[in-house]
Structure 1
Amino acid sequence: MSPEEPNDTAFKPEEVVEEVFEGEATGVEVEHEETTQRDTEIRPWDPEKIRVTTRGYSMRNVLDMIDDGELELAPDFQRNRVWRPRQKSRLIESLLLQIPLPAFYFAEDKSGGLRVVDGLQRLSTIHDFTRNQTFALADLEYLSEECGGKYFEDLSPPLRRRLLNTTQIVVHVIDPSTPNDVKYNIFKRINTGGEPLNAMEIRHCMSRNRSRDFLKLCASSDSFNAATGGRLRDHVRMNDREAVLRFIAFRRLTHISEYEQYGSLETLLDRTAELIDSKDDVPDELLDRWHHDFVRAMDNARLVFGEHAFRKWPRSSDRLSPFNRALFESWAVMLADYHPDQLAGVQTKIVERARAAMTNDSAYIASISASTSDPQRVKARFAKPRAIMQDVGL
C-alpha cells in the first residue's frame, strides 16, 4: 500500500463533528479530506491560462447593467448580501466623500454576460440604496448633518450626481476562455467578502441559470426537506444545492468505476454542472427524469430510514447525527431505483444491515468519514447499499 492510499483496515472512526459557520452549527457533518483536491489539480501553475482584463465603469453604467440583466449579482447567493445598516451607510458615505473603492472582479460568460465574483456586497448595497431605496443613511461619520436619515431621492442633486456619475470603479474581468480550474483558483484567491467561498459557492458563481434553477428546484422540494429534516433548507453554505448536484453527478454515471476518469469529486461536480447548463448535452426530458429520480430517492429514504436518513446511525446510538454527504450520494442514487411498494416490508431489514455496517465495517465507516473523494472509498460506499439491497431480496 502506498503512503497516499487510505488505510481502511486501520481506520478508527472519530467523533462525528458538525460544521460551524459564523458560530452556528450548519447541520452538516464535516468531511475530513487529507489534501485539498483543487490544490493538486493545477501544478505547476501556468500563468498563460490566466486571462483577465481591466476595465473602468461609472457607477451609473454598472447600475444600468444590473437593471438590464447584463450584470448578475449571483442570484440566491444570500450569505454575502447580509450587511449591517452601519456598514451599508458607511459605504455610501465613502462614495459621497469620493473615496475610491477597491477593485471589483467580474466573470464573463461566452454570451458576453457578466457575473459579480468579488464585490457582491458592495454592489448590492449601492444598488439597493440608489435604485430600490430600501434603506436610509444612518450612523455616518462625516456627513451626518447633511445626509443622515435620508434616502437616495432625498439627497441634493449634486450629491446624487456625485454618486452616480462621478464615482468610477475599476473592474478586473475574467475572460470566458479561462479554464474552470484556473477560475476556481482565481475566485478562491480574490474573495474578500469575509469567510472564503467554498467549492459550491464558487461553482454557483461560475455556472449559468439552467443548472442553478434546476438545483434550486430540487433542493426546495418538500421531499428533500423532509428527508433531510429541514436542516438544509436554504443552507447558508449552499450544501443543499451541493447535495443535489452530487446526486445528479453520480446518478448519471453508467458505472461507479467511471468516477476515476474525473480525477476528483470537484471535477466531477464541475463537469456535471456544465452539462446541466447545456441543452445539447442534457435535454429537458433528461433533466425532468433526474428530477423525478431525485424526488423518488428522497421519499424512499424517508420511508426506510425516517429521521435518520443520510445520517450515521450505528447500533450504539440513536442520537440524531448531522447530515452526511457521502451517505447521501450513495444511498440516494441506490434508492432512486425502487418503487416505494418494493420497499414495503423490508425497511427494518435494510436499516438493520445499514446500522451493522456503520458499526462493524471499518472500510465502510472510513468510506463515509474521511478522504471521501478517494476512488476506492467512493467505490466502497456505493457497493455497500447495493449489497444490502441484494441481501434483503431486492
Structure 2
Amino acid sequence: MESDEARASAPVVEDVFDGIATGVEVEDIGESEGAIERPWNPEQIRVSTGSFSLRNILDQIDEGSLELAPDFQRGRVWKLDQKSLLVESLLLQIPLPAFYFAEDAEGAFHVVDGLQRLSTLHSFVRGGKHSFALRGLEYLKDAEGALFSDLAVQWQRRINNTQLIVNVIDPTTPPGVMYDIFKRINTGGTPLNAQEIRHCMSKDRSRGILKRMTHTREFSKATNALTDHIRMNDREMALRFTAFWLLGIDEYIENPVMESFLIRTTQLLDNPSVLPDVSVDALEKTFRAAMRKVYLLFGEHSFRKWPNYSTSRSPINRALFETWSVAVADYALGDLEHRKEQIVQAARDRMTRDITYLDSITSSTADRRRVSYRFNAAAEDVAAGL
C-alpha cells in the first residue's frame, strides 16, 4: 500500500494538448463527471431533422442567426490539408456527416456538432481573414492552389447547393440534458471539454463576462498569462470562482454535480433580470481584487501545489484556484500583506503533510466531502496569524 509520504510527493501531471503543455494540472473530477439528472425522461429530448443548402446555412451565419461560438479558438485549428480535403469532398459530392444545432428561446441557433466543418466552409466560401487556398487535394489536382473565387462557376454552384442534413435540438430540452447531448454527439478529432461545451451553449452576456474577467492584468499576472487558454481553462476558472462566490458552497453540497453547478451559473450570468449589470460589476471587481491578493501571497506559485520540499513551479491546479480565490476575497489587501508569512507557511505545511487535503485537490475533486474539505482548509490557512 502506498505510504502517505509517497502520496504527498507524487509528481504533478500537467495537461497536454496537441503535444504542447497547457500550464494546467490534469484534474480528476471523479464520478460526478456526466452525472446530470439521469435517467432522462425521453419526452424531454426533442430533436427535429431537416435538409439545408450550404448557401442557406452560410447566409444564417452572416446574418447572425446561426452562431459559430465566438472566441472558440480551437474550432479553427484544422490544418490546411484537412480543410482542403473537406472542400474536395463537397466538389466530389461525397455526403458529409449530419450536423447538430441547438435552438435557443430567442430562435437563434448554436452549433453543437460540426463547428470545425462549418467554420472551414464559411472561411473558404465567404472569405475574410481566415480564407485559404486549396492545398494537398487527392483527386482534383486542377483546383490545387485555388481560392473559392478561382473555381469554375459550376464548381462554386455545386458547393453552394450542397445539401446538409441538420438535426436541431428544440429549446424546450432542459439545459442539463442538452449538455449531455453535446457530450454524446460531439464527433470532432478531439472531443470538446466541459467548458468548451458550456461556451457553445451559452449566450453573449456570459461569454463577455468571463472574457473580461480573464483579460485583466490581475488574472494574467496571477496565472502567468493563462488568458485565452487553448482549452478554455481560463474561462472555466473564472466561472468556478463565480459559481462558488455567487451561489455558495452550501448550494454545491446540496447538489454536488459540478456540471450542473456550472451550467446554472452560466445561465445566471446570461440573465440580466436575475443578475443585473451592477452585480456583474461587483463580481468582476471582486475577482480582480482576489487575483491581486493571491499573487501578493504566493507570487509565481499562485494556485499551484507548493509543498515545503518543492522549489520548482507546478502547473495551475483548478481546485486550488477556486478555493483560494474565494478564501481571500473578503480580506483587505493590507491585512493579508501583514500576515503573508504565516498564511503562506500554513498553506505550504498543509500541502506537505495533509494527505486528505492533497487528495481533495487532486482526485475526485467534485466529491462534496472533498470540496468542503479544501474550502474549509483554505479558510483556516488564510486566517493564520489572526
Q: Same fold (TM over 0.5)?
A: yes
Given the superposition, is the C-alpha separation of residues 11 and 201 from structure 1 closer, same or farther in structure 2, using an over 3 Å criterion? Answer: farther
Are 2:74 and 2:230, in contact at CA under 8 Å, matched by a contact in 1?
A: yes
Q: Distance in 2 between matches of 1:83 and 1:260?
A: 40
Q: Does 1:113 align with 2:108?
A: yes
* Pairing 1:238–2:232 present: yes
Q: 1:125 is matched with which residue: 112, 115, 120?
A: 120
For 1:185-196, list aligned pairs within 5 A: 185-196=180-191
Q: Which runs of 4+ in 1 moved over 6 A?
A: none
Provide the residue aligned with 1:103 in structure 2: 98
Aligned-residue sequence identity (percent) comes to: 53
2:151 counterpart (148, 155, 170):
155
Quick one: which amino acid aligns to residue 71 of structure 2? D
Distance 1:24 1:36, change over 3 A: farther
Deviations 1:351-377 (A, max 9, x none): 111101111122222221221111121
Find the partner of 1:141 among 116, 119, 138.
Answer: 138
> What is the CA–CA distance in structure 2 between the aligned matches of 1:198 and 1:10, rounded to whole Å?
33
**Partner of 1:313 in structure 2?**
306
Counterpart in the other structure of 1:249: 243
Structure 1 residues 10, 181: closer, same or farther in 2, change over 3 A? farther
User: Normalised by the size of structure 1, how large is the TM-score?
Assistant: 0.92
Task: Give the Cα–Cα distance (whole angstroms) in 2 for the partners of residues 33 and 62 of structure 1.
Answer: 37
**Higher mean Cα deviation, 10-19 or 182-191?**
10-19
Q: Which residue of 1 aligns with 2:174?
A: 179
Q: How does 1:71-82 map to 2 (within 5 A)?
A: 71-82=66-77
SS in 1 for 2:234: helix
| 2:220 partner SS | helix
Q: What pairs up with 1:10-89 in 2 under 5 angstroms?
A: 12-13=7-8, 14-38=10-34, 40-89=35-84
User: What is the RMSD of the two structures over their aligned residues, measured on CA atoms?
Assistant: 1.7
1:111-163 deviation digits (Å, cap 9, x = unpaired): 00001111111111111111116211222222222x22221112222221121
Q: TM-score, normalised by structure 2?
A: 0.94
SS in 2 for 1:26: strand
Give the match's secondary structure for 2:78.
coil
Q: Answer whether contact 1:11 1:362 (CA < 8 A) is retained.
A: no
Q: Read off the aligned partner of 2:140 and give its amino acid letter.
A: L
**Cα distance in 2 between the residues matched to 1:128 and 1:80:** 12
Whether 1:261 and 2:215 are equivalent positions in the alignment is no
CA distance in 1, matches of 2:191, 2:339: 45
Please report how far the alpha carbon of residue 201 of structure 1 lies from its aligned counterpart in structure 2 after TM superposition.
0.9
Secondary structure of the residue aligned to 2:383 is helix
Unaligned stretches of 5+ in structure 1?
Answer: 1-8
Task: Report the counterpart of residue 93 of structure 1 in structure 2.
Answer: 88
Structure-2 separation of matches of 1:366 and 1:220? 31
Q: Determine the structure 2 residue equivalent to 1:3.
A: none
User: Structure 1 residues 44 and 238 mapped into 2: Cα distance closer, same or farther (>3 Å)?
Assistant: same
Query: Does structure 1 conserve the Cα–Cα contact (< 8 Å) formed by 2:91 and 2:159?
Result: yes
Give the corresponding residue for 1:384: 377
Output aligned runs, 1:212-231, within 5 Å: 212-230=207-225
Find the aligned partners of 1:261 and 1:113 in 2 and give their Cα distance: 33
Rounded Cα–Cα distance in structure 2 between residues aligned with 1:235 and 1:73: 18
Is this contact kept in 1: 2:320–2:361, CA < 8 A? yes
Q: How many corresponding residue pairs? A: 380
Match of residue 285 from structure 1:
278
1:299-353: CA deviation from partner (whole Å, max 9, x where unpaired): 1111111000100111111210110111111110121212322222221111111
